Amino acid sequence: MTSLKTRIFMILVATTSVIWLAATTWIYLGTKAELERVLDTRLQEAARMVASLVRDDEGTAQAAIGAIPPAAASTGGAAYERQLSCQIWSLGGRLVAASSAAPSTRLSGHGAGFSDSTIEGELWRVYAIEDAVKGVRVLVGDRLGLRDRLVQDLVLGLVAPTLLMLPLFAGLIWLAVGRGLAPLRQVAADLQARPADDLGPVQPEVVDEIRPVTDALNGLFSRLDTARAQERAFTAFAAHELRTPLAGIRTQAQIAQAAETPEMRSSALEKIIRGVDRTARLVSQLLALARLEAAVAKRERMPMAVGPLLAEIDRDRQWANVRVDIDPALDTLVLVGDADHLRFALRNLHENACEHSPPGGLVSWRRVGACEVTVEDAGPGIPPDELALVTQRFYRGRASRSAGSGLGLAIVEAALGRLDATVSLTPSPSGPGLLATVSFPVPPK
């Protein structure tokens, strides 16, 4: 069942039906109990009246039986007429008198009081009075089948109108459910009518029941709008950053093509190679950043030793004139997380430190505490007012000595965010340069 309206309708109809059946059962049982009490009282009154009129001859006995009042009001014609039957027996077991509706068989063989008997295949309710002075036993009874029919007719008279109203009630429920779901249809119509580029909030004023849905949609639209704005900015910055090195490569190619001396041609070709290397690194960083930002699914977590990973990264570095010192204590620092994300973060931190360090400068990796790693370079450092800006994409500080893209620290922050880690940047305490401190979460034991 995919229709919410149908589902709610069926639930309401089923609930109403259960309540109606419960009410009908309660009415039936209550009416039956009350009617039995009233009819039992009538049996007692009739038996006492007959007993009070009986003397010791058959004539008065028959006359006493004739004094029994007519049966209960006949709601269905003759159905309940002559309902009561009366017999007068002598204590010696002789039938003295009987009403015309009484069976030929003795109504009850029990003593005084109420009893149930089966006579000629029918159940009877009988009340008996014994008068030892007059030597008679008065028996007054009625058929239980007639009692049950009377109860059924009474209950049916009460319930039948409601039963006939059930289809109308179901129709009203259907209309009410449809009316109640109108705000949901209004939200759907609003979503269908809006253009694809409209990510504004949905229905600021809605009913409380669907507010969680609209709040979730508005949150999703807000995130999509932010992501779309970031993608537009990313595309614009990427196009700008790629345009510059490509234009430089083209210019150097034209110079090499028109060079009149081997020295000019060789110089232009070297610049082309450096430009291609910078462009390749920029493209690699762009792809890495895009991959990090798109990595929303959970990835496999595995233990990783930081020291060997840094040694592997250092073997691939392009800056051979920079000294690198990796703390041996990092070999014992094992983190649990995604290996690619950790490699992205450490590689870009390492390349950023090497790129900004002068020839002969030292890049130092150290382990601090249980789960902190620091990297310190010998570069020009970053002014304090720019420390909060350098992790933005394509941002290059005023003191930057390199022709980098400004993506390295942005990749670091994005990758560490996937690892639930953080990076903080401070001036180097040992001189010019930058100190980056990476804090990883403590792995579970």
pLDDT in tens, 158-177: 778 878 888 888 888 888 88
Location of structure tokens 């990883």: 440
Domains identified in the chain and CATH numbers: 4-171 (3.30.450.20), 208-291 (1.10.287.130), 298-439 (3.30.565.10)
Reported as a single tens digit per residue, the pLDDT across 334-391 is 888 878 788 888 888 888 888 888 888 899 999 998 889 999 998 887 777 776 656 6
φ, ψ for residue 126 (rounded to 5)? Answer: -130, 140
Reported as a single tens digit per residue, the pLDDT across 93-145 is 888 888 877 888 888 888 889 998 888 888 889 999 988 888 888 999 988 88
pLDDT at 180: 82
Q: pTM for this structure?
A: 0.46
Compute the average pLDDT of residues 216-234: 80
- Please list, in sequence order, all residues whose beta carbon lies within 8 angstroms of the beta carbon of residue 134, skipping any fewer than 6 positions away: 51, 54, 55, 56
* Alpha-helix residue ranges (DSSP H) falling in 54-181: 58-66, 144-180
Q: Kindly indicate the confidence band of residue 60, based on its pLDDT and cuts at 50, 70 and 90.
A: low
Cα separation values, 86 from 104, 142, 198, 229, Å = 11, 9, 90, 99
Q: Comparing C-alpha atoms, which of 91, 95, 93, 84 is closest to residue 61?
A: 95
pLDDT at 78: 45
pLDDT at 290: 66
The DSSP output letter for 369 is T
If one compares 236 and 345, the residue with the highest pLDDT of the two is 345
- Inform me whether the pLDDT recorded for 400 exceeds 70: no
Token digits for 185? 């249809």
Cα separation values, 170 from 24, 30, 270, 305, 364, Å = 18, 27, 86, 68, 79
- Please list, in sequence order, all residues whose beta carbon lies within 8 angstroms of the beta carbon of residue 302, skipping any fewer than 6 positions away: 336, 337, 338, 339
- Inform me whether the pLDDT recorded for 41 exceeds 50: yes
pLDDT at 128: 92
pLDDT at 291: 66
pLDDT at 328: 93
φ, ψ for residue 414 (rounded to 5)? Answer: -65, -45
